[in-house]
Amino acid sequence: MYTPPIDDIRFCLNHVAGLSEIATLPAFQDVSAELADAILEEAGKLAADVIAPLNHESDKSSSIRHEDGSVQTPAGFKDAYKAMGEGGWTAMDAEEAWGGQNMPMILSAGVNELWQSASLSFALCHLLTQGQIYALQKSASDAQKAKFLPPMVEGRWTGTMNLTEPQAGTDLAAIKTKAVPNGDHYLISGQKIYITYGEHDMAENIIHLVLARLPDAPEGVKGISVFIVPKYLVNDDGTLGEQNDVKCLSIEKKLGIKGSPTAVLQYGETGGAVGYLVGEEHKGLDIMFGMMNHARFEVGLQGLAIAERGYQQAVDYAQTRTQGTPLERPPKTPIAHHPDVLRLLSIMRSEIEAMRALVLVGGAALDRSHHASAEQAAAEDRRASLLIPIIKGWLTERSVMLTSDAVQVHGGMGFIEETGAAQHYRDSRILPIYEGTTAIQANDLVFRKTLRDGGAGIEALLAEIRQDMSDIDACWAEPVLQAANSAEHSLKQLLAMANNSRSAAVNGVDWLMQLGTLCGGWMMAKSAQAAKTLSDAGEGNPEFLKAKLVTASIYMQQVLPRVGTYAAQIGCHDNAVLHMEPDWLRR
């Protein structure tokens, strides 16, 4: 069973992330708290009643590839995606010109959490389609937008992102897929792997966004272009023509997200798949990174979502399971009263609430970066760019540990697939890997977002955190200020490593996790102050607000001290890891 956390999303939107401020932007002046409430309530019904019941069964049945290359998704997926389209949910944040509703990302992020919690495997299709819509709105020609965007916005077609090849994972410079000019289009040939929803039965057409090289392309990443390659060719009147020369060779057998088909796609097996250049030649990586940046934000959100789903299942189990007698409690008291189980669940809740607030603050920064005045938009773009690797890295890494804790709460029953707790743990494990591993996010954070500007962006973030703490009660503000001082000390140490890239890189993940933990404390301090203000005014649900104050204190006591641990690790001037010879690692 899944209960959408509408109350906490609403609280974060209105009292932490600043929905009312986003609603002052010209693009979003029709967005009110009342409208957001209505959207969340309806989305919650679809997530809980239609999508969530598919999750466990889809893990057992998986998607199935047939001999002709077609792929059958688990029972219920096709109808659920149709319901999303018919309900307008696939159109939320697309531009109105293409049939979208132009909702702000701060709100669509709240709704997307519900889809991802309900079923990570199912909701991946929507996530990738959203990302492609975003990329095409930004970079495609008007004719391409008119042809390909409306059906994706309506939910009739879906989208994919095709980067990885057998020899080219993180190293995109090694891409070999070819694109040969042929009149008004190109002929694409090559193989792509790990293509999420690369083939399925949930839509009339699948629009692949494919990285490939032109015959005269220079070596390296500067020689990559990006192409629209539809599964079915599209006639000028919008009807579908013959199938393109793209075939699903297989779908992967995976540790988790088993309901989602992860395809190996072959382009050009019988002459070349018809593709259409997006933007300029050799500028494909810049365009695709726009989609990847969006996807990285959404994958961070997935970390929050799967942690919430695992947490809810653990709470439900702990509130009903009796085993032993908790200290100072009567016999037959549920295990939720055992101090250590209470510890696990309480810390899980505090981290999840911090994660949620940070995601929505990141969504607000993205909204302002796209729609505020030019000067403010530039500053917000820098802030969003800084937050995205933190959101992607910190939330996904913590999701693995939090879903592991959910298994721990179940005890031996958590290790048994029947309960479903193990599925959330398995599903979470891909999140620190795809759309750029945690190490890639850390390198981005260290080299592009910290060292490149001499730490100016980090200093601005720390200044904002300190400014916010000036209006917050000391019991929450002081721990955050101490953590900010630790982060500033780490920043100085990293800047001193600027001429030693290996030293900077080996500390990258610790730096990312340190900043993520600090930002979580920032969010919880703001949340606590807002909850206290509402409580003092006699507004809101008293029990919800009391719980919010307690979870904030738990974060300060149990989670925020990790900032000091990361600082100590970064502070090792002669990091022993760099003295390890790879050959010594063998047994």
Where in the sequence numbering do the catalytic residues fall? 435
Measure Cα distances from 438 to 89, 430, 458 in Å: 30, 11, 19
Measure Cα distances from 423 to 133, 301, 376, 443 in Å: 30, 18, 43, 30
Distance separating alpha carbons of residues 87 and 373, to the nearest angstrom? 33
Measure Cα distances from 141 to 100, 148, 264, 457 in Å: 18, 11, 29, 34
Tallying the residues shown for the chain, one arrives at: 587
Q: Tell me the torsion sign for CA atoms 417, 420, 424, 427.
A: positive
Distance separating alpha carbons of residues 472 and 467, to the nearest angstrom? 10
In sequence order, what are the residues at sequence separation of 6 or more whose Cβ sits closer than 8 angstroms to the Cβ of residue 138?
287, 290
Let me know: does 493 contact 570? Beta carbons within 8 Å.
yes
Distance separating alpha carbons of residues 512 and 496, to the nearest angstrom? 17
Let me know: does 86 contact 155? Beta carbons within 8 Å.
yes
Instruction: Provide DSSP, 534-575.
Output: HHHTT-S-HHHHHHHHHHHHHIIIIITTHHHHHHHHHT-SS-
Side-chain half-sphere of 193: how many Cα atoms within 13 Å? 11
Q: Give residue for tokens 């100072």.
A: 328
Give the H or E element holding residue 412. none
Let me know: does 238 contact 145? Beta carbons within 8 Å.
no
Closest CA to 519 of 557, 549, 559: 559
Collapsing DSSP to helix, strand or coil, 422 comes out as helix
Residue 347 CA, chain-centre distance (Å), reads 21
Closest CA to 111 of 359, 324, 367, 326: 359
509-510-516 Cα angle (round to 5)? 90
Closest CA to 435 of 216, 215, 160, 106: 160
Let me know: does 516 contact 537? Beta carbons within 8 Å.
no
417 DSSP 8-state letter: G
